[in-house]
């Protein structure tokens, strides 16, 4: 089971509307439906001994702390190919998302090949990292240590956030890595390519393994006359990038700043960018749900030709299985600082829910099972999406009303809960936040059932198999 279709968005604390750090990613897959769940991993549930399912890589017990932190996780519920924890926030309000599958080139693969036997991959990183770190920078260093010691069999990007910092890390070959701190006033959009461009060895805000700079010089890997651009050195610039990756970044850039301009296929779109306004949760919800609206490339639009509508891969598509926005808030007490906005299924037809992470359980409707079950929001969202996709002009407005209603209701519950938890701590706070999460989950589930009913009513007369003497 491979997930290689994600879109990551990172926002520094001074670039957001409320001063929180945000890291987001849509977790996409292939033709097979991959049910995703939402779980709370307490210290007693964390593995004491670890072996990867895919690579059979064993982790030394010394690399698993005796006292791991509690954390949230969005795993694949089948477990057949490992845990694939995807994203979460730990009890010290450190957030992690992993991974964004990225590109590489033959030059580095000929020097430090991806592992054929052993090594770590996407199935492992959250489980082996999030319960052991106390800051975003800790996350970078922990991953760097694991990559250098155990290696990897795939190219991946991952991100970390705490109250003050957002970091993005990319793997290079089988054992090397680079990481860059996102400036507080900036945002990043990272599709399925190697994304870090400008890089300064030894400068604050830039980290890598100790051997990488010498490796670049020894093997003459730098094509630029001056400086280091890691995308030029280790990444790709292919026809696939021009149609599959770059257009997603282009759309987000132009949404955050209409003067960005450029062309969808541009290969050198910058990694670090600045919006023309402060970015909100709703902004990220929109771009993670986007499909080139108001352009000729929108599969649902009426501007382009049939060929244009199939030219570029959109962010939202049928293979979105789970999407999250990990928010570390700075204007509230520690007990409520961590919020995992979460939705399941294709992003154009669902709604994010802002779950507190300082809890003692997750809502039952988000604890997905592997079999089709309309009591679980994952499967309910898959159903509404597949029905909605048959006629977006008819069903799209119904979905938009549903999403606006759901977000507003969740915001209201969150505001009320923030007030109620003031002065509480420990189990008392956890119980209140767990109750609030359940209330939001129930509200969105009920809204989704209502949406499905409205779609059935609206679509009743659209059936092809019908006959009326008045027709």
Model pLDDT for residues 116-152, shown as the tens digit of each residue:
999 999 999 999 999 999 999 999 999 999 999 999 9
Burial class (CB in 10 A: 0-12, 13-18, 19+), 427: exposed
What CATH code would you report for 7-369?
3.60.60.10
**pLDDT for 469 beyond 80:** no
Is residue 48 within 8 Å of 61, Cβ to Cβ? yes
**pLDDT for 1 beyond 80:** no
Whole-angstrom distance, CA of residue 321 vs CA of residue 218: 42
Whole-angstrom distance, CA of residue 364 vs CA of residue 38: 9
Let me know if 343 is a catalytic residue: no
Is residue 435 within 8 Å of 421, Cβ to Cβ? no
Percent of the chain clearing pLDDT 70 (strictly above): 99
Percent of the chain clearing pLDDT 90 (strictly above): 96
Q: Which residues of 162-234 form beta strands (DSSP E)?
A: 166-172, 176-181, 187-190, 198-199, 206-208, 228-229
Is residue 136 within 8 Å of 167, Cβ to Cβ? yes
> Would you state the pLDDT for residue 466?
86
Average pLDDT over residues 231-243: 97
Model pLDDT for residues 368-400, shown as the tens digit of each residue:
999 999 999 999 999 999 999 999 999 999 999
Give the pTM.
Answer: 0.98
Average pLDDT over residues 38-64: 97
pLDDT bucket at 2, cuts 50 / 70 / 90 = low
pLDDT bucket at 362, cuts 50 / 70 / 90 = very high
Model pLDDT for residues 404-432, shown as the tens digit of each residue:
999 999 999 999 999 999 999 999 999 99
Whole-angstrom distance, CA of residue 321 vs CA of residue 421: 32
């Amino acid at each position: 089971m491979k997930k290689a279709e994600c879109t990551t968005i990172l926002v520094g604390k001074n670039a957001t509307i409320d001063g929180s750090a945000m890291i987001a990613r849509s977790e996409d897959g292939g033709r097979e439906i991959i049910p995703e769940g939402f779980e709370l991993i307490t210290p007693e549930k964390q593995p004491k001994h670890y072996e990867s399912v895919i690579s059979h890589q064993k982790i030394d017990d010394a690399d698993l702390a005796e006292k791991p932190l509690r954390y949230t996780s969005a795993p694949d519920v089948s477990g057949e190919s490992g845990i694939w924890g995807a994203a979460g926030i730990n009890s010290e309000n450190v957030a992690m998302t992993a991974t964004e599958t990225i590109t590489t080139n033959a030059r580095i693969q000929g020097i430090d090949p991806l592992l054929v036997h052993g090594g770590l991959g996407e199935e492992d990183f959250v489980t082996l990292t999030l319960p052991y770190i106390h800051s975003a920078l800790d996350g970078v260093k922990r991953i760097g240590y694991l990559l250098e010691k155990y290696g990897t069999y795939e190219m991946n990007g991952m991100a970390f956030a705490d109250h003050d910092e957002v970091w993005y890390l990319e793997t290079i070959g089988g054992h090397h890595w680079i990481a860059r701190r996102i400036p507080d006033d900036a945002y990043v959009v990272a599709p399925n390519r190697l994304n870090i461009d400008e890089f300064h060895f030894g400068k604050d805000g830039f980290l890598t393994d100790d051997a990488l700079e010498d490796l670049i010089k020894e093997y003459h890997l730098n094509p630029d006359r001056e400086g280091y651009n890691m995308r030029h050195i280790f990444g790709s610039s292919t026809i696939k990038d021009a149609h599959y990756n770059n257009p997603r970044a282009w759309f987000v850039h132009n949404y955050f700043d209409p003067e960005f301009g450029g062309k969808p296929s541009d290969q050198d779109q910058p990694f670090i960018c600045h919006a023309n306004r402060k970015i909100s949760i709703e902004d990220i919800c929109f771009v993670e749900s986007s499909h080139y609206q108001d352009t000729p490339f929108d599969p649902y639009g009426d501007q382009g030709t049939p060929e244009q509508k199939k030219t570029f891969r959109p962010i939202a598509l049928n293979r979105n299985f789970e999407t999250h926005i990990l928010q570390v808030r700075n204007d509230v007490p520690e007990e409520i600082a961590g919020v995992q906005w979460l939705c399941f299924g294709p992003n154009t037809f669902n709604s994010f829910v802002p779950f507190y992470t300082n809890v003692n359980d997750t809502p039952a409707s988000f604890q997905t099972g592997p079999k089709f079950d309309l009591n679980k929001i994952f499967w309910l969202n898959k159903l509404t999406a597949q029905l909605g996709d048959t006629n977006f002009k008819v069903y799209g407005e119904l979905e938009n009303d549903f999403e606006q209603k759901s977000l507003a209701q969740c915001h209201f519950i969150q505001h009320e809960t923030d007030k109620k938890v003031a002065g509480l701590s420990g189990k008392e706070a956890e119980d209140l936040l767990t109750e609030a999460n359940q209330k939001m989950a129930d509200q969105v589930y009920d809204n989704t059932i209502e949406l499905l009913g409205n779609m059935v009513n609206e679509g009743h007369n659209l059936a092809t198999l019908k006959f009326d003497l008045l027709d």
